[in-house]
Structure 1
């Protein structure tokens, strides 16, 4: 019996670890979709082990459903749903109704990713919950899984008092392309809550609302609380005239790290000189090099545009004295070499054109990124692809790889 308990505990420990590793992988340049799939195969194998463990496994998991570790809560909820046991499924629903913190987070993730077909029966009763966080989580689960939500329900959520609910509803409007709620969404653009304004902008861009683009520009120009994320969305929108606004933010330490990748996503040749200048700053050099790769497709190491080893070591020593480098693993570009490369290659890029990885910007280049790109660059590509064509569903790049691959099979 102890041997079985040890095996089940190991399954739970590994599932918890892999849950967090998967979450971290979504923002890790080392991983692509294949790497994500491999992580998930390992995670699902341990979850399957817990399902097979039956009553003994559930005795271990049931207390974890209200525990303090989101990964363990996820595992408990996921296994309960996979078991098909009505009593366990009912317990998940009842726990969800009162959940908060890591319990709510873990159950929300389980509901997002489970293959349990009757998920709507669990989430729908909470769409009008008195608890704002639970109501927001239920809206998120339904829209993430692309389950239709009634306009009246979303309309009520968009005018709720709790910012969590309004932000979740705005996200759902974008995910579900609920264009009939465009005016309610416009009102959310003026919310007092920054997260609501940001989600309303994102959803508005998906619905091609000019008001959303105007507010996005305004949030950046006024340096509002959500300016950093708004800068990112402005880059995705790809309008030439926004380049100067983005360049102005490069001189502000609080916004430079947002502006640099945004200029890469903007994809305009005019962004190259400011990005090359950023390569001279040890704190921003790697990020600038990555933005230049995003725009031009240049392989800095293959083209020998990186700093010599001794200079790189000096740069890393300077970074160690300051803080951990968030761009660790990226090559350190040499500004002078970049300038020389750009002088030779600038003629390849039409000043009026837009580019992604050196290719003309459009659905083919974005689809290629979705198929072969690193996980962090897939998130904006999915959003952009949906912005180009409002008839396309938004690919959820945070969903399990098996779902993504099914949905990507029809991309062209």
Structure 2
């Protein structure tokens, strides 16, 4: 393409249309990939084709120089998250860091905040840490949180800057993300500040994030706090499963005495790994009150046993009555479908929710499970099993991410793994982890551990 100054009027119009099309496609691909990341019915490697196509459009926009950049700048209001992501990626590739920082400040409290965090994590130049160094101390909480995510995801060595920023943001939303990043960096010097942050925290999501970071740093005080809070709050349950001892399973089981089984509690029981939880999950599956609980029981049984029991399920396209004409919804009850309207039904594979099938399998394979041994995917727990779980195409992103967290918390194997990174990056890190585990001294399998130490 010629330089803008040498283009004819027709060529200029053509170039503008071309770059708008590239931007539109890039936006669509980003948002489609974002949706796929949380779709448990789609294997995570399926995102690779969207990532490749996005990169091709981004390259075309980069090659378009200032003219393409100006087209993308027209979307700087942040109303289109995909276009905002693309613009930031393009600015970072052009090394226009000051403009990128300005837009992050503009967007971080609005609709495009997630897109800004994603773009920075994907595209910030590793050789421009000097420009990044002061940014976590930004006065805006959301802005500081975005830079905390960037540093944590990329593992940039800026723990000192994060700690300084944490002192400024210990009472707002940013403190959680800054502590999350410090946990990613292995900054044990942040334990005291993190414990203080956790004790003041009143938000369950934030408390769970802070706790995970503290456990990654080997803070036994955090595990003690988790044990104390488990009977009265839900946020510690997963942390207890990821870091606790065999005896801690009793704390989780006792919760079922005075409250109905919740999916997050069922998942924690499965992750805990005691063979006695198999019978408990079978009983819970027989008495599920809703689809979410049944799905959690089935997934939990798979996590414990590794049994390849699947079934075909159907999901019907959601029809929003607000999008129909008045004559179409006249006389319809809420949720009903107008006569003659075609509704798409998609089929997918899921873990079987047939309790009898699970019982038959468990009876036939009972000999492969022993008391006192911790299990995951049907095998005595060891680091290699967690790498397998983190790379599983059968499990949702949340359970894959938890496998990685547990690998750090229990065994100390770490690498920059996040389930929202590209497929190629995830595969490379999983291979790196597998290689490190293979080279490390063998550990006794099936044991509950914390920070590399076997628990009683």
| TM-score between the two structures when normalised by the length of structure 2 | 0.76
Tell me whether 138-147 or 399-408 shows the greater mean CA deviation: 399-408
Residue in structure 2 matching 1:242, options 245, 248, 251: 248
Contact 1:158 1:170 (C-alpha < 8 Å) held by counterparts: no
- Alignment match, 1:180: 189
CA change 1:366–1:351 in 2 (3 A) is same
What is the CA distance between 1:337 and its match in structure 2? 3.0
Decide whether aligned partners of structure 1 residues 155 and 217 sit closer, same or farther in structure 2, where only a CA change above 3 A counts: farther
Structure 1 CA distance for aligned equivalents of residues 101 and 377 of structure 2: 46
**Rg: which structure is higher?**
2
Identify unmatched segments of 5+ residues in structure 1: 314-319
Question: Take 1:75 and 1:158, find their aligned partners in 2: how far apart are those partners?
Answer: 33
Structure number with higher helix proportion: 1
Distance 1:153 1:80, change over 3 A: closer
CA RMSD of aligned residues (A): 2.9
Contact in 2 for aligned 1:97/1:126 (Cα 8 Å): no
Q: 1:40 aligns with which of 48, 51, 62?
A: 51
Match status 1:289 vs 2:298: yes
C-alpha distance in structure 2 between counterparts of 1:244 and 1:140, whole Å? 35
Specify the alignment match of 2:386 in structure 1: 366
Conserved? CA contact 1:366–1:381, under 8 Å: yes
How far, CA to CA, are the matches of 2:380 and 2:228 in structure 1?
Answer: 28
Residues 302 and 377, structure 2, Cα contact 8 Å, conserved in 1:
yes
**Contact 2:198–2:211 (8 Å) recurs in 1:** yes
- 1:403 lines up with 2:429 in the alignment: no
Cα distance in 1, alignment partners of residues 271 and 74 from structure 2: 46
Aligned equivalents of 2:50 and 2:176: distance in 1?
A: 30
- 242 and 328 in structure 1: CA distance in 2 versus 1, 3 angstrom threshold: farther
Query: Residue 157 of structure 2 aligns to a residue in which SS?
Result: coil
Tell me whether 1:232 sits opposite 2:232 in the alignment: no
Residue 147 of structure 1: how far off its partner (Å)? 0.7
- Check conservation: 2:159, 2:187, Cα contact below 8 A: no
Provide the rounded CA distance (Å) in 2 between the counterparts of 1:26 and 1:41. Answer: 15
The CA deviation at 1:176 is 0.6
Q: Does the 8 Å CA contact 1:163/1:193 hold for their aligned counterparts?
A: no
1:138-191 Cα distance to aligned partner (Å, 9 max, x none) = 122112210112436415515634322211221122101111222222212201
Shift of 1:13: 2.0
Are the aligned partners of 2:305 and 2:375 in contact in 1 as well (CA < 8 Å)? yes
Q: Confirm whether residue 167 of structure 1 aligns to residue 176 of structure 2.
A: yes
- TM-score normalised by structure 1 residue count: 0.84
C-alpha change, 1:144 and 1:254, in structure 2 (3 Å) is farther
User: Which one of the candidate residues 359, 362, 370 is aligned to 1:350?
Assistant: 370
Q: Give the match's secondary structure for 1:330.
A: strand
Alignment partner, residue 140 of structure 1? 149
How far, CA to CA, are the matches of 1:150 and 1:161 in structure 2? 15
Higher mean displacement: 8-17 or 240-249: 240-249
Which residue of the other structure, out of 352, 355, 368, is the alignment partner of 1:335?
A: 355
Partner of 2:104: 96
Give the corresponding residue for 2:222. 212
- Shifted more, 278-287 versus 243-252: the winner is 243-252
Aligned counterparts of 2:79 and 2:260: Cα–Cα separation in 1? 33
